[in-house]
Amino acid sequence: MDDKSFAYRAKKASGIAMMLAFLAFAVLPILWVLILSLRPATALFEPIWESPTNLTFDNFRGIADSGFPRALLNSFLTAGIATILSMIVGVPAAFALAKSRLRGKFVASWVLLLLRMAPPVGFVIPLFLIYINAGLIDTYPGLIMAYMTLTLPLVVWSMWTTFAQIPNELIESALMDGASLAKALVLVVIPAARPGVVAAAILGFLIAWNDFFFALIITRGSTVTAPVSIMNFISSDSVDWGSIAVAAICVTLPIIPVMVIANRYIVQSLSGAVKG
């Protein structure tokens, strides 16, 4: 075996070993959560190999009998509606910013970037004071509007970049065929920018789905979301780790099919792909 062949195989083996190490680093916490969800409280932190058959579904039954399913539904409703409204408002706004010749577009881009990067604590205090006076505390509209402060800047910023890649000739040809600007946007521009549209919607949904801070401040009982509801399993004198593990699985599982289905759209969006 020559030196070049040996070096190539050694480099390939080291790359595979590194990939396996990263995979183990990502998978082991998931396996640990699965094991915790199936272990009784008396054997929660015992090594699994000492009592591999000591498993129970009591943690799952406890979650089903608690208020967590309602909180999970609240997360779906608020995150989904906030994402839909952000797309309805943000897509036309991004198209206008990308294709119009308005002055101040540079300033608008920095304002959007500032809104996207600003921490939620910068918005939650004025929102809380406004919501108290408007009676929006612990209401679905209040939480949805709060989520839109997170999702709308992301949608406009990402779609602005996507629409800027659409050739102007494509839009002009649609207008010359008699289509209105709104019709050209719906029938021509959005289908051509479908990867970016799907990616923006999913990323916006994930931001709202994973939010903890806004929901903690704005919700109380009837509109509490899943990330906040997990705190109910923590008290001053104990922590129900089994229920927390089950809740973590319930919060994660609905996202996996969405990410699998939309994976190719997100990759195409990040690579700047636009359908011709």
User: In the numeric block, which tokens belong to residue 10?
Assistant: 């050694």
What pLDDT sits at residue 89? 94
Query: pTM of the prediction?
Result: 0.84
Distance CA 221, CA 223 (A): 6
List alpha helices for 39-67, DSSP H.
58-65
What pLDDT sits at residue 126? 87
At 19-71, the pLDDT tens digits run: 988 888 888 888 888 888 888 888 877 877 788 788 888 888 888 888 899 99
What pLDDT sits at residue 148? 92
What pLDDT sits at residue 175? 86
From residue 263, alpha-carbon distances to 2, 128, 196, 207, 208 in Å are 42, 36, 12, 16, 19
Q: Which residues contact 184 (CB under 8 A, 6 or more apart)?
A: 171, 174, 175
pLDDT < 50: residue spans in the chain: 273, 276
What pLDDT sits at residue 50? 80
Phi-psi region of 100 (alpha: psi -120 to 50; beta: other; left: phi over 0): beta
Task: Confirm if 86 and 152 have CB atoms less than 8 A apart.
Answer: yes
Longest dimension (CA), the chain: 79
What pLDDT sits at residue 226? 93
